[in-house]
Amino acid sequence: MALGLSRAGFRVAITAARNRAELEAVAREAPPGQVYPVISDASRESDCAALVGEVQEQLGPVDVLVNNAGRGMRYVSEQFMVEPTRFWETDTETWRMVIDTNVSGPFFLARAVTPGMISRGWGRIINISMNHETMRRVGFSPYGPSKAALESATIIWAQDLAGTGVTVNALLPGGASLTGMIPDEVPPALRQKLLMPEVMVPPLLWLMSESADEVTGKRINAPAGIRNLIRR
């Protein structure tokens, strides 16, 4: 998504909690000067506030927030794709870490950028979610519940921001995607069935366009979701 946005002309700040080398690799792949890497832990309110301040200083006002930072089932078990971990077997600290990142993190960041968006009369908050089948899949605590909470927040925040020019929507790829959340040990036959992350770019760009000014509080399944919304 960061590469897609940068190639479309947007200046993008990308974050990771620890791995700066990974961020810098993305920045090198993007058009020169379009991607600004920052180490920041979304689960920490102080990090989120400092991040927004740094981005505003380096790039200008934040017009779009994409809440994509997340911690998934690999933190529970590397075998989560084939051997479910029952909720009572999940380590409590792992549960807190996933919830803090996937639920509190989007709140901290949205809270930090929303006043500026309201004052400018325009803004986009896009929360990255997951399909309902995966959300409810056996053994997918706490990742599934964290995304269910984020989708509820999406609907509530959209209502809170009605009439301000700031929209809030959830965007999901429509299935399991080939990202860093997938363990290396996943069999090739299963890996071939995974969606490529690039499916997110067209709907993301559309949500950021004027065509989506009236779209808020929606759950958009890429790429069919755009077609369905336009059809309505």
Q: How far apart are CA 37 and CA 76, in angstroms?
A: 27
CA-based nearest residue to 82, from 196, 180, 192, 191: 191
3-state class of 148 per DSSP? helix
- Encode the chain (232 residues) as per-residue pLDDT tens digits: 999 999 999 999 999 988 899 999 999 999 999 999 999 999 999 999 999 999 999 999 999 999 998 887 666 676 766 678 888 988 999 999 999 999 999 999 999 999 999 999 999 999 999 878 887 888 788 988 999 999 999 999 999 999 999 999 999 986 555 455 555 665 566 555 565 678 889 999 999 999 999 999 999 988 564 555 544 4
pLDDT the model gives residue 231: 46
- CA 211 distance to own-chain centroid: 21
End-to-end Cα distance, the chain: 26
CA-based nearest residue to 104, from 137, 77, 141, 67: 67
Considering the entire predicted model, what is its pTM? 0.86
- Residues 60 and 36 sit within 8 Å (Cβ to Cβ): no
CA-based nearest residue to 101, from 136, 132, 128: 128
Angle at 59 between CA 166 and CA 113, to 5 degrees: 30
- Residues 157 and 125 sit within 8 Å (Cβ to Cβ): yes
Cis link prior to 202 (omega < 30° from 0)?
no
- CA 49 distance to own-chain centroid: 18
pLDDT the model gives residue 139: 77
Q: Which residues are catalytic?
A: 143
pLDDT the model gives residue 219: 95
